[in-house]
């Protein structure tokens, strides 16, 4: 029996530089929709006829496909909304790790912006357990492009729904505004929780 997911609460209650509260609230409704749909899909999977499984088309196959889309929608949006609302100033241990793996914060940002302008769904800075390094990964959809064993630390939503209300087609300005509002203390807390213990083990 799968446990139901519960949506987090939106912490943002005012306009942010470059982000209208109305746009943020509309976007947050989509996140709540992913929570609702994940719970619905997982219940349907329990009851679905497993004997009809087929890779071209089957009801269970579609449920399995959309389960991944919806659950990644939950995870990535929680990271996105959690670290939106900061002052954008890079700080903390994460900066040292970015400098180690990208050379500088500027080089990291340049690569992350290029990832955000070329991906169709997400630009994700993740720590990959395979090589114990940070990477900027692009994902065309929530169920395409995920790298197994990589922990997302910073997630930039570049689906049109994230910026069309405030920016129309001007994705570049939206991406720049994202960095201006990035809360580095939240990103650092993610790193301390999930990456630091791994780094210590690796160095033993
Ligand atoms: Fe989104």
Whole-number Å distance, alpha carbon 75 to ligand 1 midpoint, is: 11
d(CA 35, CA 17): 28
Whole-number Å distance, alpha carbon 142 to ligand 1 midpoint, is: 10
- Mean pLDDT, to the nearest integer, of 85-93? 97
User: Is the sign of the CA dihedral 32, 33, 34, 38 positive or negative?
Assistant: positive
Whole-number Å distance, alpha carbon 121 to ligand 1 midpoint, is: 8
Helix (H, G, I), strand (E, B) or coil at 157: strand
- Pick the closest to residue 122 from 142, 150, 104, 106 (CA basis): 142
d(CA 35, CA 20): 23
Each domain of the chain, given as residue ranges in start order, spans 21-82, 93-202
Helix (H, G, I), strand (E, B) or coil at 173: helix
Residue 131 has phi, psi (to 5 degrees) of -120, 5
Question: Which are the contacts of 154, defined by CB distance < 8 A and separation ≥ 6?
Answer: 79, 83, 112, 124, 125, 182, 187
Whole-number Å distance, alpha carbon 162 to ligand 1 midpoint, is: 5
Binning pLDDT at 50, 70 and 90, where does residue 104 land? very high
d(CA 135, CA 152): 9
- Mean pLDDT, to the nearest integer, of 115-134? 97
Fold of 93-202: minor pseudopilin epsh fold (3.55.40)
Angle (nearest 5°) at CA 193 between 189 and 195: 105
Calculate the average pLDDT of the chain: 96
pLDDT of residue 2: 78
Residue 196 has phi, psi (to 5 degrees) of -55, -45
Whole-number Å distance, alpha carbon 76 to ligand 1 midpoint, is: 8
Q: Which two tokens stand for residue 110?
A: 């340049």
Has residue 204 got a pLDDT over 80?
no
Whole-number Å distance, alpha carbon 130 to ligand 1 midpoint, is: 28
Is residue 142 a contact partner of residue 155, using CB atoms and an 8 Å limit? no
Q: What is the DSSP letter of 2?
A: P
Helix axes 93-102, 184-194, angle to 10 degrees: 80
pTM of the model: 0.94
């Amino acid at each position: 029996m799968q446990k139901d997911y519960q949506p987090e609460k939106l912490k943002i209650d005012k306009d942010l530089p470059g982000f209208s509260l109305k746009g943020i609230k509309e976007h947050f409704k989509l996140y709540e929709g992913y929570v609702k749909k994940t719970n619905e899909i997982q219940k349907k999977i329990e009851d679905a006829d497993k004997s009809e499984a087929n890779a071209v088309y089957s009801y269970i196959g579609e449920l399995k496909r959309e389960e991944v889309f919806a659950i990644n929608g939950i995870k990535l949006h929680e990271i996105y909304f959690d670290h939106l609302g900061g002052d954008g100033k890079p700080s903390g241990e994460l900066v040292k790790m970015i400098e180690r793996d990208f050379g500088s914060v500027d080089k990291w940002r340049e690569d992350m912006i290029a990832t955000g302008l070329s991906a169709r769904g997400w630009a994700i800075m993740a720590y990959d357990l395979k090589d114990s390094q940070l990477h900027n990964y692009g994902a065309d959809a929530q169920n395409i492009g995920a790298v197994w064993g990589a922990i997302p630390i910073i997630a930039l939503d570049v689906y049109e729904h994230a910026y069309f209300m405030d920016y129309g087609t001007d994705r570049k300005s939206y991406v720049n505004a994202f960095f201006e509002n990035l809360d580095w203390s939240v990103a650092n807390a993610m790193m301390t929780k999930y990456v630091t213990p791994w780094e210590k083990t690796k160095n033993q």
